[in-house]
Amino acid sequence: MLTIIVPCYNEEETIPLFFKAIESQKKYLNEPIEYIFINDGSQDESIKKIKELGLQFTNVHFIDFSRNFGKEAAMFAGLQKASGDFVTIMDADLQDPPELLPEMLMMLNNNPELDCVGTRRIDRNGESATRSFLAKTFYKLMDKISDAQLVDGARDFRMMRRQMVDAILMLTEYNRFSKGLFTWVGFNTEYLTYNNRERVAGETSWSFKQLFRYSIEGITDFSDLPLSIATYMGVISCVIAVLSLVVIVLRTLIFGDPTQGWPSLASIVLLLGGIQLLCIGIIGKYVGKIYLETKNRPIYIIKDTDLDVSNKSDIEEK
């Protein structure tokens, strides 16, 4: 069986279109399909649309969060409840092409050594030049500083075997960056490419600020380079301060011309103070992550579902 996990946040317009598009590919899959829609605290009628589908089709299931916990939590909840031999994650906005599903399934069936078929965009048509540049820069940076090698343009849309899904479920950290987790667990993965697609309806919930924060989360989750940078900046500042002190002393002894002027002194103080605050902020980011992990809070809380929740540890597992 193929389980399709669909995180939803304010997707009332796209949910019926998404379901229709997937059903149109059903004849090419030759596998029964299980749908798991996760309503991530939507403010519109998303959960109503999902329940309407559930009343018509017995293979459509839903998980309704008590509030918005984020896409990472929604994907984790879906993976926990997926029962298929093959599991895929798709966005409801149809930016993930449904027509790739038969090819992905065929690749896995024809190659027993292949564990996952991912997808990646080969262009970013429709995005602003600034957003596209920053995204490419992020992938290049992560490739250099992280032990999780991200593929430029890779999407969460991928089809995995059960063995890989079980491995991902073993990673129960509260701070999740799934693009990194997918590569960190290993397993043989091949990528299908496609041209970028726009949403079929509605508006994206990902603002520039949210994407920036998401990139910072990815860097701090899979690299300690920022901590090293803070150390290097401290060492460099100390060396410059010592050299400056030597120059000032020698200049005074040789030329009898002590350094004057409070503007230069104020600038130096502000520069060093700024470096110190930056380093403290970097350290604080990592300490904050440790703090959240030690709280041992659930990754998500279910308000309502038609799936089996008798095992509470599955819902609130850390």
Give the model confidence (pLDDT) of 23-58 as tens digits. 888 888 888 889 999 998 888 888 889 998 888 888
Residue 14 has φ and ψ, to the nearest 5°, of -95, -25
- Quote the pLDDT of residue 316: 40
What is the mean pLDDT of the segment spanning 280-301? 78
* Mean pLDDT, all residues of the chain: 78
Angle at 159 between CA 99 and CA 76, to 5 degrees: 125
Q: Percentage of the chain surpassing pLDDT 90? A: 6
Closest CA to 92 of 38, 34, 18: 18
Q: What is the pLDDT of residue 261?
A: 61
Model pLDDT, residue 314: 43
Task: Determine if the pTM surpasses 0.85.
Answer: no
Whether residue 144 is predicted with pLDDT greater than 70 in this model: the reply is: no
pLDDT bin (cut points 50, 70, 90) of residue 312 is very low
Distance, in Å, from the CA atom of 83 to the CA atom of 61, rounded to the nearest integer, reads: 12
φ/ψ (deg, to 5) at 150: -85, 145
